[in-house]
Amino acid sequence: MISQIIGYYDQFLNLFPLNWHGPISLLLLLAIAGTIWHIIRKSGIWLVLLVVLVPALIPILRDIGKMLIEILKVLLERAGI
């Protein structure tokens, strides 16, 4: 699934000149990080309650976290950071 997302991202980047790839990746990285921060800040207590009340969510959240980290790594590589 991650490779498919990265493939779509590469197709999107190919629409722009090569010297724009870094700034576009950095902008997208900041947008994703800001969105994640906003979600955690606004509903962090609910996430904690869900994990406490439904322990089966821990592997699911771990997988989602791994996927997000992979995507952020790719964006950092493309941004040249």
Q: What is the pLDDT of residues 29-78, one digit of tens each?
A: 889 889 988 988 888 788 788 778 888 888 888 898 898 888 888 888 88
- What distance lies between CA 78 and its chain's CA centroid? 14
Q: Measuring CA to CA, how many Å separate 74 from each of 38, 45, 61, 62, 80?
A: 22, 30, 20, 19, 10
CA 20 – CA 80 distance, rounded (Å)? 11
**8 Å CB contact between 64 and 1:** no
Q: pTM to 2 decimals?
A: 0.66
For residue 80, pLDDT over 80 is answered with no
Q: How confident is the model at residue 72, as a pLDDT?
A: 85
Q: How confident is the model at residue 31, as a pLDDT?
A: 92
Q: What angle do CA 61, 22, 39 make, to 5 degrees?
A: 30
Q: Delimit the domains of the chain by residue range.
A: 2-79
